[in-house]
Amino acid sequence: MSESIRILLADDQHLVRGALAALLSLEADLEVVGEVGRGDEVVARARETTPDVALLDVEMPGADGITATRDLRTALPDCRVLVVTTFGRPGYLRRALAAGASGFVVKDTPASQLADSIRRVHQGLRVVDPTLAVESLTSGESPLTARERDVLLETRGGGTVADIARALVLSEGTVRNHLSSAIGKTGARTRAEAVRIADANGWL
């Protein structure tokens, strides 16, 4: 029998992580060799456990799954990444693939299908949730510049223009310009609405 595919799980929800580990361990050719609950722990754990495939959630403390994907692909290029998330947003899909992920599926994927996705990613194939793939093609690229995205991310924390300016080392006038541009590009009426729209599309 061929060697098992070694898997690292990264998800901040302990129950979800445990359920995934239990389901995957039922497959004869899959072995969970490590688990973490934070995005900034992924690379260190991967170095200790040398997984073939890492299953990463998107929204985690420490670092999000997309940042963790980029860091992991840089540190251990032989480890493939399959993003498994509740948040099936087209913008997340685009950013995950750009960061080096080999696949992107949502958490309600049946266990047998998830196991098959892991095998395909391990073989060097790309696996993408078909509904998300269509949405990604129709929704287009994020219209936001990197700076507009930074400003909206700070806005999400509820800060004033002065707070945002301090955090990003920008003038208040520059922050207002970026906010105004982001509001226009998202078709929103307020900055809070712009944050909601950008978030829903996975642009943040």
- Beta strand pairing call for 80-85 and 127-128: unpaired
Q: Name the residue with higher pLDDT: 140 or 80.
A: 80
CATH number belonging to domain 146-200: 1.10.10.10
pLDDT the model gives residue 107 = 84
pTM of the model as a whole: 0.68
Top mean pLDDT of 52-56, 103-107, 154-158 is at: 52-56
**Statement: residue 102 has pLDDT above 80:** yes
pLDDT the model gives residue 140 = 64
With cut-offs at 50, 70 and 90, classify the pLDDT of residue 1: very low
Residue 122 gets the label, from left (phi > 0), alpha (psi -120 to 50) or beta, of alpha
pLDDT the model gives residue 134 = 65
CATH architecture of 5-138: 3-Layer(aba) Sandwich (3.40)
Return the domain boundaries, the chain: 5-138, 146-200
With cut-offs at 50, 70 and 90, classify the pLDDT of residue 109: confident
